[in-house]
Structure 1
């Protein structure tokens, strides 16, 4: 948990440097299914992405900096995984008003977020042109691309999900320190 706090502190430092509010009012959530190494026992199958492994959920601000991570088996739906991420940041992000998400988070989760968190969950639909990126969704996809540049995160090698979460926080701290320098 210490790594998560350090990550949030560094992101606040960067937000001040970029002349933005320390506490974001908008966040973006998404998930990524990753394969596991052979040594890991706990795994699920994501039928949508055809991946046997785990699913990473991240909540990022508009600069792409991670504020929360949750990792679980790949067979758990995005709306269930989103609840894990959102409960982690409920008290840490007091200014949060709106969260952007893709179609995987549509449905009862919109009411759930409104009821328990008093936030708006906006579902960003697909664009008509295939080459055009989805509005604001490219930010979280860019963060996943940043993380995949780290060898240890291209595939999940860790036995425990907590170790995987901490590796993501370490990678994000490295990215933020490079931007501060």
Structure 2
């Protein structure tokens, strides 16, 4: 299959994704849009950072592409595909499909759209915009993402993030330990997490005895995940009006990363 853009899916990558795409709704006119072209258009937008209306004309009409993206955002398809591929990657790495440990952290990013809802100022990072609260497994794969205004504290965001993670049910049923940085320290939060979810929240602090950059055990994993996300130019800033759209685009970026990794292993 010829590749027009670097972001396009290869034949093998499409074979891995195709079974996960929702079937057409029964009744009405049959689906005529090529789902491969829709996915290629969405990946092109995420990788290049272009606007929906600026999608090249060799893709389906931008409004058609966006309608599929929005539908799959609202019905949870993107998070479900992310979950399915994450389990496949874990199995390919000889890991249990469901993780027993995770790392949480938050990343503040500037907004690039004056119409964005929920904007705040992160006094610690000196960023006016939004904050991505993420929970990743020990491979750096996203288990859950939540986007808030940047003035929401890491601890407050973590509480909501853990509630969302627990609602995932069976896919995270083995989760017992979560590592975090000093922004999550405090006996009150640790006790709250244990009482509500039976998770052990372990804070890993940076050593005060070493100067300059240092790799902190476990915490480097989530920092690498943030680096992966920034490979996608659409995520270098938050251009989305709705936070749930911003969350869906994080899943899209991770889906592209995982399907490429799985295709290399076949």
> What TM-score results when the alignment is normalised by the length of structure 1?
0.97
Question: Does residue 121 of structure 1 match 2:201?
Answer: yes
Question: Does residue 177 of structure 1 match 2:253?
Answer: no
Q: After TM superposition, where is structure 1 displaced by more than 6 Å over at least 4 residues in a row?
A: none
Tell me the equivalent position of 1:96.
175
Tell me the equivalent position of 1:160.
242
Q: Tell me, in whole angstroms, the C-alpha distance in 1 between the residues paired with 2:117 and 2:143.
A: 28
Q: CA deviation at 1:144?
A: 0.2
Tell me the equivalent position of 1:35.
110
Q: Tell me, in whole angstroms, the C-alpha distance in 2 between the residues paired with 1:144 and 1:3.
A: 19
Q: Tell me, in whole angstroms, the C-alpha distance in 1 between the residues paired with 2:133 and 2:247.
A: 10
Q: CA deviation at 1:37?
A: 1.3
CA RMSD, Structure 1 to Structure 2 (Å): 1.0
Which protein is richer in strand relative to its size? 1
Q: CA deviation at 1:131?
A: 2.5
Tell me the equivalent position of 2:17.
none
Q: CA deviation at 1:41?
A: 4.3
Q: Tell me, in whole angstroms, the C-alpha distance in 2 between the residues paired with 1:5 and 1:60.
A: 15
Which protein is richer in helix relative to its size? 2
- Which 5+ residue runs of structure 1 have no aligned equivalent? none
- Which 5+ residue runs of structure 2 have no aligned equivalent? 1-75
**Number of residue-to-residue matches in the alignment:** 181
Secondary structure (helix, strand or coil) at the match of 2:172 reads coil
The structure with more radius of gyration: 2
Matches within 5 A, 1:53-132: 53-90=129-166, 91=169, 92-107=171-186, 108-127=188-207, 128-129=209-210, 130-132=212-214
Q: CA deviation at 1:156?
A: 0.1
Q: CA deviation at 1:38?
A: 3.6
Q: CA deviation at 1:8?
A: 1.1
Q: Tell me, in whole angstroms, the C-alpha distance in 2 between the residues paired with 1:114 and 1:68.
A: 19
Q: Tell me, in whole angstroms, the C-alpha distance in 2 between the residues paired with 1:58 and 1:44.
A: 18
Q: Is the 8 A contact 2:194 2:201 kept in 1?
A: yes
> What TM-score results when the alignment is normalised by the length of structure 2?
0.67
Secondary structure (helix, strand or coil) at the match of 2:205 reads coil
Q: Tell me, in whole angstroms, the C-alpha distance in 2 between the residues paired with 1:2 and 1:85.
A: 19
What are the superposed Cα offsets for residues 126-162 of structure 1, whole Å, 9 maximum, x if unpaired? 1232332111100000000000110100000000000
